[in-house]
Chains A and B, each alone.
Chain A
Amino acid sequence: MIGASYSQAQCSWQPSNFHRTPQTVMRLSRMGSAHQSRLSFMRTLLRRMKRENWQFERSLFEINEQGVGRAVYQAKGPRRTYSLVAFAHDLPDDLRSDRVIAEAWDATFTLFDGVPTEDDLQRLEANVPKQEAGRITGKELTMSRANRSDRLFNSVAKILASGEQPDPAEIAKIGYLMRTTAVYGSGKFGAADRDLIQSREVLSGPFQAEMLTVWLIRTFTLDLVEHVAKCQGGNDAVTLKPEIRRCFGVGNSTGLGMAPFIVNHPMLLNNWIMAREEALSRVRSQQQVSAEVFTTFRAFVKRARINADQWQSEHPIQQPKIVTIRQELMQFDEQLDVFDLQQEFALNTLYLWAEKHLSEECQEQVAMLMLEPYPELVDGLTGCMGANEDLTLIDAKMSVEAMLLILQEHYAWALEMDFSGQRARGRFWYVSEEKLEPRLGERFLEPGKELEQPLCVARHVTQLAEALKGHAQDARLAEFLLANPQFRHVVRRAQLARKYPYMEIQDNLIAHDMLPIDLLRLKLSFFGATRFDPRSDRWVRITMFQNAPFPHELAEQSADDWAYPSLQAVPQ
């Protein structure tokens, strides 16, 4: 597998002719055009749970007529059971806020490791509704909260109470009954550390505990609306038809706080991107493409067209990109009508055509669609997407000159940048005192730049290079670092670049015009999100698990055929 061969390589990794290079893919604009794929974390979770025949049970549902109470959903795997514990609250409208600084929510959740006892539930009820102000323990894996889409929730409840079914077109306008405003994992607020669960197969991949939490939250939101409808309508009330029920996902608002994640986890970022690029190169290197593969690919292109037609955003950057991808997918589809699929390396030819003729938004879409017909080439790579992020030892025995060569080889893109002007360093990343959340400030307008977080990798690298040039070239790095401790973290980071070619975003992360939503979109595409809807340059709204099967349907339904609308879906 790729992980082994790369991690053992001491010399620089060289891409094959079918690999896209870091210089191509690690740019903000392309990251801001990323699309979901077979490798996405939502799809990985559902494939595994189906394969392992997981069983699901709503073991507790104590919710009153106002929709207030508690519920437990158990997910039982071959070795362990995980339980979503949900608390539904009565939230006055004026307190409903999706901001991270909110203090009350419509519903709060935690994923419990096992089956909670009544004592556990009482402990959780005293803490989970408070979110950041509460404490959870090593028995809990995640903590989350969600707010209703009040309009859709109330209208669906009312329609069901009267015995009718909601109009799918109305559902599609919003797409969810509740949106999560945070899903915390990995030891936050006392939760179990990742070390505890990373040896468990189902949770070993990135964000699997978080994805399981959101998937079960989705079930809870539908059960809740049906329960409220039943309370309102009595015997007249009906439940949702399965195909209409699946139209609901879970909304998610992702803000600036998540943007630094992929900068702060370079090995993880490398492994995500490398898995994706390896997958694409495997597909592009297929010498013969069967008619069956081509038919599947073609169907996915058409489904992606429907998806693009349904994709709505009013954001001034995203909106024109949607218009373009609709036109270009049609153009690409027409190209397929006349394409000779008998030719050797047909998919590679198509990819190269896309690279030449289509926008980045559409190139990334087409590239990910090409992975769809090849589960046997792609799905195994999900096992390479985790990372051991132990702090590495600095190789301080190398010479100053050798360190400089590393920078020249792996950071040429940074060394070419000019940081002398104010625009090139117009912003700075910091942690806010208020919510301990990462924020982005205007360097020359706002206070706090002396407390800048070290996210401006390119600038640090250029400063390091200058300092190294001013030092004796044959001196050991250890000596340099003793005299210049401010470069210790960037030296450690840059030495990793020899083994992790896709770990750096090759752009200026403090430029006056950089778009944090590009970082968010990349991360959310790996989660499996589609139809990204940026609401500013700093936060994005998405819908998760829309059209996916519910837990009770997983055994009968396909676990992995829901990321794009079906061919029967009618463009709106």
Chain B
Amino acid sequence: MIYSLSEIDATCKKAARGAGFSWGYAEEAGKAARWLAAHQLPGVALLAEYLTLQKQNPRDYQGSAARCPLLTGAMLCDSGHGEMETSVVFEHVVYPLLLLPYLTQLSKAADVGFRIQWPGTFIRCRNGAIYIKEERSIAAADATDVSCDWLEADATITMDESFVRASGAVGQFIEANHWEALEALAHLTYVPATEESRRGAGPT
């Protein structure tokens, strides 16, 4: 089914909260999923898988063996562009595509382009334009090393225009199993209604 960007944002935020992330991380996860969906990238699918695993076994994904893309993204944003070396490698990041929205937000705020890659995937971003070259599926799950470079102001983008990934506010088709997984996690944030709680909430 096609879901609107705001549905994706809201459901992923609640799912991240349901999976145990703090409200601050959860709202960032919702916006990350929204950004990826607007670019027709499989953020919702990856988040559904990742949050489900995270809920089942949190330690596997927050220990040193593998890095959480949401926490890594948040740390990256917190450290700011100016603090980062021109080139940096994030080791053992699972679901590395989920890092991309964090990088684009930072790059937009700092008005600087970047290059990010992991085995089989090369992404460039400049002035809001995203270029993606996939040699293997962009939807990698396994922990992998992600390298990132900020582009100098005068650096030129040398990627083929055919790799441009446009964004549009048209929603995204989401597989039912992914949406159900997110809703199951979101459900953990709801309180069962009682007749008492209904009383007076609206017209009778």
- Interface of A with B (CB < 8 Å)? 97-101, 135, 137-138, 181, 186-196, 253, 255-257, 390-391, 393-394, 396-397, 430-437, 439-441, 446-448, 451, 454, 477-478, 481-482, 485-492, 535-539, 541
Q: Knowing A253-B202, A255-B203, A538-B202 are in contact, say whether A193-B191 is a contact too (CB < 8 A).
A: no
Are B25 and A488 within 8 A (Cβ)? yes
Closest CB in chain B relative to A86 CB, distance in Å: 22
Given contacts A181-B203, A187-B7, A451-B190, 5 further A-B contacts (CB under 8 A): A189-B7, A393-B80, A397-B80, A446-B197, A538-B201
Stretch binding the partner chain, chosen from B48-56, B71-79, B133-141: B71-79
Residues of A within 8 A of B77 (CB): 393-394, 396
Residues of A within 8 A of B83 (CB): 397
- Interface of B with A (CB < 8 Å)? 1-7, 21-25, 27-28, 31, 38, 74-75, 77-80, 83, 105-106, 109, 169-171, 187, 189-194, 196-198, 200-204
Are B23 and A454 within 8 A (Cβ)? yes
Residue in chain A with minimal CB distance to B24:
A488
Which 7 pairs, one residue from A and one from B, show the smallest C-beta to C-beta distance? A488-B24, A255-B202, A187-B6, A448-B191, A187-B4, A98-B203, A396-B78
Residues of B within 8 A of A137 (CB): 2
Best-buried of A193, A432, A454, A477 by chain B (most CB within 10 Å): A193
Instruction: Please tell me which one of the listed residues B4, B106, B193 contacts residue A191 in the complex, with CB atoms under 8 A apart.
Output: B4
Are A489 and B24 within 8 A (Cβ)? yes
Residues of B within 8 A of A538 (CB): 200-202
26 pairs, A vs B, C-beta closer than 8 Å = A98-B202, A98-B204, A138-B2, A188-B7, A190-B171, A195-B38, A253-B203, A256-B202, A393-B106, A396-B77, A397-B83, A431-B189, A431-B190, A432-B198, A433-B187, A439-B198, A446-B194, A447-B191, A448-B191, A481-B78, A488-B25, A488-B74, A490-B24, A491-B24, A539-B200, A539-B201
Residues of B within 8 A of A492 (CB): 24, 27
Residues of B within 8 A of A448 (CB): 191-192
Report the Cα distance A448→B187, complex, angstroms.
13
Residue in chain A with minimal CB distance to B79:
A478
Residues of B within 8 A of A539 (CB): 200-203
Q: Knowing A391-B31, A396-B80, A439-B191 are in contact, say whether A257-B4 is a contact too (CB < 8 A).
A: no
Report the Cα distance A100→B74, complex, angstroms.
37
Best-buried of B27, B83, B198 by chain A (most CB within 10 Å): B198
Instruction: Please tell me which one of the listed residues A97, A191, A432, A486 contacts residue B22 in the complex, with CB atoms under 8 A apart.
Output: A486
Residues of A within 8 A of B171 (CB): 138, 187, 190, 193
Report the Cα distance A403→B74, complex, angstroms.
18
Report the Cα distance A193→B191, complex, angstroms.
27
Q: Knowing A190-B3, A391-B28 are in contact, say whether A439-B201 is a contact too (CB < 8 A).
A: yes
Report the Cα distance A434→B198, complex, angstroms.
10
Are B169 and A478 within 8 A (Cβ)? no
Are A431 and B24 within 8 A (Cβ)? no
Residues of A within 8 A of B201 (CB): 100, 255-257, 437, 439-440, 538-539
Residues of B within 8 A of A535 (CB): 203
Are B6 and A433 within 8 A (Cβ)? no
Report the Cα distance A553→B193, complex, angstroms.
46
Are B190 and A432 within 8 A (Cβ)? yes
Residues of A within 8 A of B3 (CB): 190
Are B202 and A451 within 8 A (Cβ)? no
Are A196 and B197 within 8 A (Cβ)? no
Are A190 and B106 within 8 A (Cβ)? no
Are A187 and B5 within 8 A (Cβ)? yes
Best-buried of B7, B197, B204 by chain A (most CB within 10 Å): B197
Residue in chain B with minimal CB distance to A185:
B6
Closest CB in chain A relative to B101 CB, distance in Å: 10
Are A432 and B193 within 8 A (Cβ)? yes
Closest CB in chain B relative to A460 CB, distance in Å: 9
Residue in chain B with minimal CB distance to A484:
B22
Residues of A within 8 A of B191 (CB): 430-433, 439, 441, 447-448, 451
Residues of B within 8 A of A98 (CB): 202-204
Report the Cα distance A541→B31, complex, angstroms.
34
Are B24 and A487 within 8 A (Cβ)? yes
